[in-house]
């Protein structure tokens, strides 16, 4: 049977838009205009996914999220809002939202997110909040690729004081750090965890990633482009093939070009990625 989705929003235009976007997914989509209506509907109908706005009369979307996870703990909830604030983002993570995205949104992003939520149900303890201050968001997540994808959706919504292209670049670099930590440091073991943080300073954004692994030395990275032999920038490809590793190995090399600073601890299992804001870069020039 096809999945069933509940849309909760007090804007009829959003109902029409999401019905149009989701019509080709094969899902059955119902729409209600308030949190109260949603809770009443959830008492009689089993939904596989809920998409909820934040700002609504009566019960807000974040209050609804809390109630749903008490009433229907297995039902994933995606939060959507036109008011993308650090407070809304942090509370969405605390209340175990599956994902969070701001309006306006693209049809492609909605379909991708819906498919992910329906195909890979998330454990409620996959992401733990360690610090919830807007200037210091710190989380602990299980070493699962699907959890990394969820976290990246949250972190992409953090508003940064840099240009859009730089935001996309830094999101790519953070993704590489996170995937490496989960795959190599955590060995894709869901019983192990990775700690991450996004720290906002007056002149910089700092991403911190710490994995549970034994670390590495830059002298032992023959499988990565950064450790390729002089004069042969692709020598790591053969090393990866022989070791049965997935294609790639360009992460650290690319991150060095994107980040203003990339600093590893002595053990090699913790890294800081620093991106200066435009005002700070101008002050240094």
* Per-residue pLDDT at 22 exceeds 90: yes
Strand-by-strand arrangement of the 261-264 sheet: 127-133, 136-142, 193-200, 204-210, 270-276, 261-264
The residue among 124 and 31 whose pLDDT is bigger is 31
Taking alpha carbons only, the member of 205, 186, 209 closest to residue 197 is: 209
The residue among 66 and 241 whose pLDDT is bigger is 66
The residue whose two tokens read 């482009």 is 225
How many Å apart are CA 285 and CA 275, to the nearest integer? 15
Mean of per-residue pLDDT scores for the chain = 87
* Per-residue pLDDT at 236 exceeds 70: no
pLDDT band at 250, cuts 50/70/90? low
pLDDT value for 272: 97
Q: Which domains are present in the chain?
A: 1-121 (3.40.50.2300), 125-285 (3.30.565.10)
The residue among 228 and 279 whose pLDDT is bigger is 279
Taking alpha carbons only, the member of 21, 81, 27 closest to residue 54 is: 81
Query: Is the separation of the CB atoms in 24 and 49 below 8 Å?
Result: no
Taking alpha carbons only, the member of 52, 102, 53, 112 closest to residue 77 is: 52
What does the pLDDT average to over 35-57?
96
pLDDT in tens, 158-200: 888 888 899 999 998 999 899 989 998 999 999 999 999 999 9
Buried-exposed string 156-167: b where 16+ CB fall within 10 A, e elsewhere: bbbebbbeeebb
């Amino acid at each position: 049977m096809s999945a069933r989705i509940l849309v909760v929003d007090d804007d009829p235009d959003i109902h029409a838009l999401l019905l149009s976007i989701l019509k080709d997914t094969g899902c059955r989509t119902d729409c209600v205009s308030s949190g109260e209506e949603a809770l009443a509907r959830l008492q009689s109908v089993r939904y596989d996914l809920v998409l909820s706005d934040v700002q609504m009369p009566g019960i807000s979307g974040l209050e609804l999220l809390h109630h749903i996870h008490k009433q229907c703990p297995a039902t994933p909830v995606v939060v959507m809002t036109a008011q993308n604030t650090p407070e809304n983002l942090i509370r969405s993570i605390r209340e175990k939202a599956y994902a969070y995205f701001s309006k306006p949104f693209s049809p492609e992003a909605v379909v991708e997110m819906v498919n992910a939520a329906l195909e890979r149900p998330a454990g409620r303890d996959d992401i733990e909040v360690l610090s919830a201050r807007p200037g210091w968001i710190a989380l602990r997540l299980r070493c699962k690729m699907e959890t990394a994808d969820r976290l990246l959706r949250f972190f992409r919504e953090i508003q940064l004081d840099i240009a859009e292209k730089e935001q996309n670049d830094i999101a790519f670099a953070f993704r590489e750090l996170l995937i490496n930590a989960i795959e190599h440091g955590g060995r894709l073991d869901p019983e192990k965890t990775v700690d991450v943080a996004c720290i906002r300073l007056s002149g910089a954004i700092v991403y911190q990633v710490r994995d549970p692994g034994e670390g590495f030395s830059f002298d032992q990275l023959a499988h990565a482009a950064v450790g390729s032999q002089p004069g042969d920038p692709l020598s790591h490809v053969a090393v990866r093939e022989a070791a049965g590793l997935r294609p790639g190995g360009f992460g650290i090399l690319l991150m060095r070009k994107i980040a203003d600073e990339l600093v590893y601890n002595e053990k090699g299992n913790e890294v800081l990625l620093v991106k200066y804001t435009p005002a700070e870069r101008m002050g240094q020039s």
